[in-house]
Amino acid sequence: MNKRLGIFFFYDKDGIVDSYITHYLSKMKFFCNELCAVINGKLTQDGYKKLSKYCKHILIRQNSGLDATAYKYGIEYYGYKKLALFDELILFNFTCFAPIFDLKPMFKKIKKKKCDWWGLYICTMNEPYIKGEHLPSFFVAYRKTLLKSPYFKKYWDTLKEIKTYNDSVLYHEQRQTPFFDAAGFKRDVAFDLKKYDINATKDYWPLSKADLLLKNEHFPFLKRRNFYIENGQTNTALIKNIIDFLKYETKYNIHLIEENILRTQDVDSLDSTKVSKIKRLKRKILYLLSLNKSKKEYYKRKIIQNINSHDFKKLLNGLF
């Protein structure tokens, strides 16, 4: 195995490390000699304990600069001379549920390719963004030839101040590919998804075609944004396709998704009618099933105290 370092960027407004994170790190640990976590903002004691199981270093910094500045922070923590001792540096983050499928085929395939750095796939953007190809920044790997080059340091030294999500896209994600292209470094990708990229002007296919990427391409990364609830709306048809596929065609534990989404998203906003209150409580109960026995009993008593429906009490007793 190549000597790899993985720098993992993490942010949660409450500082909570859900189980999908530890699952992801446990799988990445197999492919990396060393892991380092860079945290923007706060981290609970429990979260620190969970990350410590997989990460040699846990760096907690202010919540600013989003992913790009956090990566830079981790890179500068190690220093460029030390990074050049690794065969490969992987920058990856918390924004996806992964791996849905075994990562061994991906690493085996990409190992055979002669390149200086690689990503998961090519994404083409048009105005008002930077026109052209780029490698998405949620999982990027740099090989020794690039790590040893002064251009790698130059890239991070010239990173502009990042204040917003759009800043991160413009000043890092979309800037990185043309920067290293111009310097003569060769890039490659682990997955050939060009047929989806053809319609890049119409929609953001990595999200809108997420179910097809899983089913047809066995793409092992599922963006959390697929499950986001905005203004009381979400793509229910897409989510159903994804969940059905995960349940019946993969070994990925969907409770890892439920735990995080039910905690971080405003599920109540999906339906504010009186009738839906029971349905919403049922959804919230799903992730409680993975708690330990004492916590199950605590939440069971607390919920039953606030519910008048005799039938729902019976349902809760059946679940627990």
Q: What is the CATH number of the domain that holds 63?
A: 3.90.550.10
pLDDT band at 184 (very low <50, low <70, confident <90, very high): very high
Are 38 and 152 contained in the same domain?
A: yes
Whole-angstrom CA distances from 216 to 200, 210, 219 are 18, 10, 8
Do residues 138 and 246 share a domain? no
Per-residue confidence band for 296, with pLDDT thresholds at 50, 70 and 90: low
Residues 84-142 have pLDDT tens digits of 999 999 999 999 999 999 999 999 999 999 999 999 999 987 766 667 899 999 999 99
Q: Do 28 and 169 sit in the same domain of this protein?
A: yes
* AA identity, residue 109: K
Residues 141 and 237 in one domain: no
Q: 13 with 159, same domain? A: yes
Range of the domain at 124: 4-197
> Are residue 47 and residue 179 in the same domain, yes or no?
yes
Q: What is the pLDDT, as a whole number, of residue 314? A: 52
Q: What tokens appear for 283 in the block? A: 């959804």
134 in the same domain as 225:
no
Is the same domain home to 22 and 148? yes
Same domain flag for 175 and 297: no
Pair 174, 215 in one domain: no
Give me the number of domains the chain comprises.
2
pTM for the structure as a whole: 0.84
- In the chain, the largest separation of any two C-alpha atoms, in whole Å, equals 69
